[in-house]
Amino acid sequence: MSISAQEFKNFEVKNPWSGEILGEVSYDSPRVIKRKIRELNDSPRLSAKDRISYLKDFGKYLNENSGYYADLIARESGVPKTHVNLRMKIISEKYKHIDDYARTVLGPEYGDNYMKLLDEEWVKDPHFPNGDYFIRKVPKGTYFLLAPNNDSPGITLISVMDLILGGNKVLVKPGTKMPFSTMEVIDKMKEVGLDGYISYVNGSGPEVTDVVLSSNIDAMFFVGTSRHGKKVQEKCIESGVDFIGEYEGNNYEFFLKDIEIPKAVSDFTLSTTLYNGIACYSIKGGSVEEEYEKFKEELIRQGEIINKSIGDPTKDSTLLGPILSEKLVKNSVRRVDEAVKNGGNIILGGEPMENPNTGEYNLMPYTVLENLSGKEELLFDETPGPVIWIEKDFKKALKWAKMNESKNPISSVPGRNGIRYVIYTKDIERAKRIGKEYRTGLIGLSGVGINPFQRWGGSGKSSTYDGFAFLLNESMDTQCLYEDKSLSDLLEKWHEMMNR
């Protein structure tokens, strides 16, 4: 992996568990950023067949080296490597089955013509009733993917596959807290044959964004807070740049009465601690329809096991690792304090722990709250860490979920779901009925069910700005060529009148 030395300042990357300095990264200058965009724009285009072949090669490499990246990301992020390894395996599966993915997205309407669509060729629509109708898919162009500071390469790997599959080029700005793993996977993608389709730059998000938007960029994919995202979106509108945003949002889990409590609680504890509770798909709270006390008792038992297994994220026995910064921990603690002030109870955890290696208070135990008033910030805004709530009144929790996707009662920010809700049950028909009450894009039947083919967002009430189904579709424009014969009779009469 090469790190370009530039005339601008450097930033250090630190292991949040050991305090070890993992290395320094130089900020890229505006000149370098503009050059990399120009190189992407000018690079030769690859056929869909070649793009798919190279992406598959990369997926195979990722699968074979998932353990290496799990260890690297654990040292950068503090996330237990068992969690990272699982995520890398899931992502590599999406790359492995990229043909099936493209067929899933484009095939239902146009059959096996999906390869022609990926090659920007015209495809006839057999269902058009009056005349001939052809469409072609056209890539939006060069994307700028702005990852959040606390992001590992997960969001990058998931996103760039769709973007490149759609024929787009991608410039990535890795998160400053953990850039090395993202830089390494991008370097590897370039090695396997995608050199002209992906690149990266380093620096401050706002500064790099300003430079990028003043360059020849076509679209932007932003991942981060809605407060920051709205500012970026406004700049994109001013610059005529297409914008997609993935913002914060809360994910709820509901347990119906047909559950087996021990296994259901295991689903809950794992899905609430995924990536130290920071991942966009981590569950943030839930309610059980029956046997609340038994559920609570088992939750405390499992939570105590988790809290005895906080530590070095590179060890297989670690269930929770350090949070990336004390600032994020303080945010979690502030929300816990607010809940207690409103009459809520802490039934587990609650107090940050000192890191024995650094002296920082960046270890947040698994924290469970109950008896919330319904006005707490953590109910309606994503809390960065393993801080969750449970509610005895099942119907009340269902109402909170509706509030979560409507106007946020604690701020002027519109409410939004997270990426998913979970309705834990064996009764899929009842899950369908309950699911109709909500507008979240994904509804799982278990918290740990993360399918690599699943849609991203899918609803304007989800955390994805304005909602969309598959990123592959979103990354391409549709062009139509048609002959409409519905007015042919009128045309003939008109023609006669013009030639009398």
pLDDT digits (tens, 9 = 90+) for 218-232: 999 988 877 788 889
List phi, psi (to 5°) of 240: 70, 30
Query: 116 vs 103, 107, 110, 119, 485, CA distance in Å?
Result: 11, 11, 10, 5, 26
Query: 183 vs 40, 145, 227, 364, CA distance in Å?
Result: 17, 13, 27, 28
Q: Is the pLDDT of residue 490 over 60?
A: yes
Exposed, middle or buried by CB within 10 Å (0-12, 13-18, 19+), for 3? middle
Q: What is the pTM of this model?
A: 0.91
Tokens of 407: 């106007």
User: What was the pLDDT predicted at 13?
Assistant: 93
CATH for 252-444 is: 3.40.309.10
DSSP, res 12 = E
The whole-angstrom separation of Cα 9 and Cα 134 is 52
DSSP, res 482 = E
SS (H, E, C) 350-393: CCCECCCCCCCCCECCCEEEECCCCCCHHHHCCCCCCEEEEECC
The boundaries of every CATH 3.40.605.10 domain in the chain are 10-246+470-480
Residue from 257, 221, 230, 63 nearest 148 by CA: 221
Residue from 20, 173, 154, 7 nearest 84 by CA: 154
User: What was the pLDDT predicted at 8?
Assistant: 54
Identity of the highest mean pLDDT range in 128-137, 158-167, 243-252, 406-415: 158-167
The boundaries of every CATH 3.40.309.10 domain in the chain are 252-444
The whole-angstrom separation of Cα 350 and Cα 329 is 11
User: What was the pLDDT predicted at 214?
Assistant: 93
User: What was the pLDDT predicted at 451?
Assistant: 60
**Residue predicted with more confidence, 465 or 93:** 93
Computed on alpha carbons and rounded to an integer, the radius of gyration of the chain in Å comes to 24
Q: Which helix (H) or strand (E) holds 113?
A: none
The whole-angstrom separation of Cα 130 and Cα 14 is 63
Q: Is the pLDDT of residue 414 over 60?
A: no
**Whose structure tokens read 């109402």?**
399
User: What was the pLDDT predicted at 5?
Assistant: 42
pLDDT-derived band at 6 (thresholds 50, 70, 90) equals: very low
Tokens of 256: 């119906």
Fold (topology level) of 10-246+470-480: Aldehyde Dehydrogenase; Chain A, domain 1 (3.40.605)
* CB atoms inside a 10 Å sphere around CB 67: 13
pLDDT-derived band at 409 (thresholds 50, 70, 90) equals: low
Alpha-helical regions (H) of 197-325: 205-213, 226-239, 261-273, 292-307
Percent of the chain with pLDDT over 70: 91
